[in-house]
Chains A and B, each alone.
Chain A
Amino acid sequence: MSLSGLFLCTFLITHMAGNMQLLINDGGLAFNQYAYDMTHSPIIKTVSYLLYFSILLHAVQGLVLAYANRGARKSRYASGNKSSSFASRNMGILGSILLLFIVVHMKSFWFEMHWGTIGNDANGMRDLYSVVVAAFSQWWYVLFYIVSLAALAFHLLHGVQSAFQTVGVNHSKYTPIIKAVGSIFAIAVPALFAIQPLYILFKTLQ
């Protein structure tokens, strides 16, 4: 869980940074070029297979873990215990929301980019930008993204520092730094991601 989770965190950074090109005001030329490069580079292709594997491994391990852990206490308490954070107690539910999001998200863009019928832009590149704009001009689709990103934020709030604890990195000097950086990461990455659909939605509303 910890190693696959940390690897997925590095993916979040590159995915978020790369997609910031959606904010460039050039009708999507830069973004489409980027989408072309990402689907045609052998290095990116290799890493993407590792990524698909990590997502599946992380999800399967998580679901198996959640199921087994629930089974370790057959009789439930009548009075609830709240001496842990909301995120840490609900990682399974938050992760399930994210899994559902990934399926929808990949259908909308990844599947369309690879096998969908989409037109070309001025440079002759597949016009994924128009697909993105069409998707993010629907308020309910954007809302689904915002809710999923909120789930991601809570998932990361617990997940980042928890991954370090699992691999045994707990030190009086470094753990406070890991926790602080982990919390900043957990809030900053989903917030920066959220700018992209919101920017496009408000642009199309004008």
Chain B
Amino acid sequence: MARFIFNRLISMIFVLLATLVIIFTLMYFVPGDPAISLLGESATIEAVKDIHTKLGLDDPYLVRLGRCLWDFVRADFGISYRSKTPVFGEIMARYPTTLKLTLGSTILGILIGVSAGIVSAVKQYSIFDRVFTTISLFGASAPSFWLAMVLVLIFSLWLGWLPATGSYELKYWLLPVFTMGLQCSAFIMRMTRSSMLEVIRQDYVRTARAKGQTEMKIIINHALRNALIPILTVTGMRLCGLLGGSVLVETVFALPGIGKYILDSVSFQDYPVVQGGVMWICFNCVVITFIIDMLYGAVDPRIRSMYGVKKLSRRQSVKEV
């Protein structure tokens, strides 16, 4: 197990480094000049050159890449061209918003998706199954920005029940969390349904039923537990997707999250922010994937025992030598 964790940590570092090289290279070749964005249209050519020198924008690709990698190794995300403040601080100022939105949506998605998925599987082809499947199809295919605008139109503009933008109190979060949570729940619901359908026809479920266990116990303890692996996988993937992909919802609801910050910085050619923001999201995704991998072992004894067997076979092989 320790070796597995060690290997995973090493691969995480490589993933982060590769991401940094890719994002740096992309930003390097994106056309545009941050100096002009900084100084405005009245700037002289001389002033633009000064900014180039000050920011090191005239240095060759490899020099700038080396500087970027060295800063990354020292956990230095650099200074924003636009705000002139450390990028890490700017990201941290926006991180709670993105985290609240992402976690809130995922929790909502799990609650709705798992419950609806179980009901759909247990009552296959019933009216519940058909309704939930239709809603999940809608949730999965409706673009988030469109759904967000429709919800704002109904609940803010027409009914006046909820605020359209902002992030101050619980009521401000209902629409954005529901927008993203509905999409998340759609994927989780479909995965739960198909996994449960596979599991509930297994022999051990029939055995549990023959032993006289209650239907609830059978579904929760025997069926759901064994169907959790694909659900965990899709939940982890959705969580990563929401972290970086919440930009449209953040834009519509004026939520000061990381996604919107990165997008604004792209148009301003604020390279340190784009690199830092993408790296932070990448780091989060890598950690989430790692946690999901750990959870596989926690929920499925077969995976735990697999590590144990490996250890045993290694010891055995030593003895054999």
A, B: real partners? no
Name A residues whose Cβ lies closer than 8 Å to a Cβ of B. Answer: none
